[in-house]
Amino acid sequence: MKKKIALLLIATGILGGCEQFNPESIFQSSTSSKASDTSSSSSVESLTPEEEEKLAEEAEHQAMLDELPNVSTNDWNLELVNNWTKIDESIERPLSVLPNASPLLVDERIIEDYTALTEAGKKAGHEIIAVSTYRSVELQTTNYNNSIQKYIDEGHSQEEAVKLTEDYIAIPGGSEHHTGLAIDVMDTEWLNSGKGLIAEFDVQESQHWLVEHAADYGFVLRFPKGKEAETGIEYESWHFRYVGKENAAYMKKYDLALEEYIALLKEAGK
């Protein structure tokens, strides 16, 4: 009899210090849990494909924001200049002659990484040559006007000439070359062929190598194919821009143009 009482006390939780045993509470809890699971499952199952896609996009976007480097849009290597954002000519830029490329000037802070990039390219069998770097607003104005006149001489209207020019040449004050952070490149084979700065440069193995490895040295292909709406400039296979290694790695991972990257940083309050 005493054993039965002891077992009963244990079962009711009196000896174990637990709450009073209530068979109905277990049933209610179980029913509630099942109802919750059913409701949750029903909620997920009721999503349309469009809603599921939107949720996935939002999750991906949040992940991108969470993964942003600890940088600022005010950093010198993230200066944004394009046809909508003119160069701030009041900023003093530390320009220096690019070694082995006199008289070409660049921001002296990119020389070490650019040199490392070209040396790595050379070891991989690619003789990479800088052909255009820093450009003053005055020089850009000359290039811009000369291009328009060339198209007019070919029989295009003024409007057509401006459109054709602006597909590849930024308006004066809107060129990345004003920053000293942009470098147009070729390899020696392409340079010797006399073909110049044209999109078909991307048939060269050196250009493929640059696209693959430039981010390791802080550079990105500034005007990639498929990003014309974001950049305002047609695809340029030769134009590389210094943004710093951390930024370049992120932009490469998510396939972002600089405009898109800056927008993300601003969204994150950086």
CA distance 163 to 113: 35
Contact 258/230 with Cβ under 8 angstroms?
Answer: no
Looking up tokens 């109802």, which residue turns up? 35
Please provide residue 69's backbone torsions phi and psi, each rounded to the nearest 5 degrees: -65, 160
- What would the DSSP string read from start to end of 128-148? EEEEE----HHHHHHHHHHHH
Which pLDDT belongs to residue 45? Answer: 65
d(CA 164, CA 231): 16
pLDDT score at 215? 98
The whole-number pLDDT of residue 140 equals 86
Residues of the chain with pLDDT below 70 are 1-45
Distance CA 190, CA 169 (A): 21
Q: How far is residue 116 from each of residues 5, 82, 209, 214, measured CA to CA in Å?
A: 84, 27, 14, 10
pLDDT tens digits, one per residue of 208-259: 999 999 999 999 999 999 999 999 999 999 999 999 999 999 999 999 999 9
SS3 assignment, position 227? coil
Distance between CA atoms of residues 126 and 214, nearest Å = 13
Please give the CATH topology (third level) of the domain spanning 66-135+175-267.
Muramoyl-pentapeptide Carboxypeptidase; domain 2 (3.30.1380)
Q: Cβ of 148: how many Cβ atoms within 10 Å?
A: 20
Nearest partner of 244 among 81, 109, 68, judged by Cα: 109
Residue 242: per-residue pLDDT = 98
- CA distances, 159 to each of 12, 136, 149, 152 (Å): 91, 25, 11, 9
Rg (CA), the chain: 31
Q: What is the pLDDT of residue 7?
A: 37
**Residue type at 111?**
I
Q: Answer whether 186's CB lies under 8 Å from 238's CB.
A: yes
Note whether 251 and 211 are within 8 A (CB).
no
Determine how β-strand 95-97 pairs with β-strand 219-223. Answer: unpaired
Q: Which of 168, 165, 82 is nearest to 132 (CA)?
A: 168
Distance between CA atoms of 196 and 200, rounded to whole angstroms?
10
- Write the CA distances from 254 to 29, 79, 81, integer angstroms: 46, 20, 21
